[in-house]
Structures are given as C-alpha cells and as structure tokens.
Amino acid sequence: MGNPQSAAHPPVSVGVLRDLFRGLERWRSAYETYGIDTLPTPDGVEWSIHDLEYLYTVAMETLPPSRSRAIDLCLVQGYREWEAAEMMGVSITNPVSMYATKGLQKLVRLIESGQLPRFRTTEGEAA
C-alpha cells in the first residue's frame, strides 16, 4: 500500500479521493495495458490501484445506495449530474454529486478511524 495516511503524509482528503475515482477507468486501462499500479497524487502520496479498488468495493458494499451509485455514475463512469440523476430515478435537477461527496466523506472517516483493515498499520491505528 502507498500509505495514503501516515505521519509522513497528509490525511486522505475528499478532493484526492474524488480525483482518484474520476481517473479510475483510465487507471484500470493503464494497469491492464502497461502494468501501472501506482500513481502519485499532488499531495505527494503514492496510491496503489489495488487500494483504490478496495475503497471502491467498500463504497459499493457499505454506503447507502444513493451515495455508492453517485460515486459510480458521477465519478467513476463520468456521467453528467443530470444523467446520473435520471439513471438513479430522481429528478434531473437533484444535485446527486452531493451524494457522491457525502460518500467520499464517509470513506475518509472510515480511513481516519482505522475501520478499514487495508488502511491500518498495527494495533488498529490508521495507516
């Protein structure tokens, strides 16, 4: 793991997670084609595609459906907000990207609190 949070690195932010999820499809292609499995973020933290895929799975399996679906549609798949809203069966004026933001905030809290095994170091401390 690229230690997305440790004494040497800033905490994981919603903005970084948003950018990583927005690039996940391209990263998957780069990984399959060229074997690129780590990327540095602007905050200097190196991320592994496997860590991001883990967070994506956590999001899809544990967040409320509106939040996980918004992360998938708005960020990972890149649909415009109104298109995602329509696919989610809500009004096209519904700000569904806020659902994605709330989901990302929850993921950050899970990481910071050490509740995600992949992001723990020893004895329950967050990585």
pLDDT tens digits for 86-110? Answer: 999 999 999 999 999 999 999 999 9
- Give the whole-angstrom CA distance, residue 114 versus residue 127: 8
- Give the whole-angstrom CA distance, residue 89 versus residue 64: 15
Rounded to 10 deg, the angle between the 24-34 and 14-22 helix axes is 60
pTM: 0.85
- Give the whole-angstrom CA distance, residue 107 versus residue 58: 8
CB 125 within 8 A of CB 4: no
pLDDT bin (cut points 50, 70, 90) of residue 12 is confident
In angstroms, how far is CA 53 from the centroid of its own chain?
Answer: 8
pLDDT tens for each residue of 47-74: 999 999 999 999 999 999 999 999 999 9
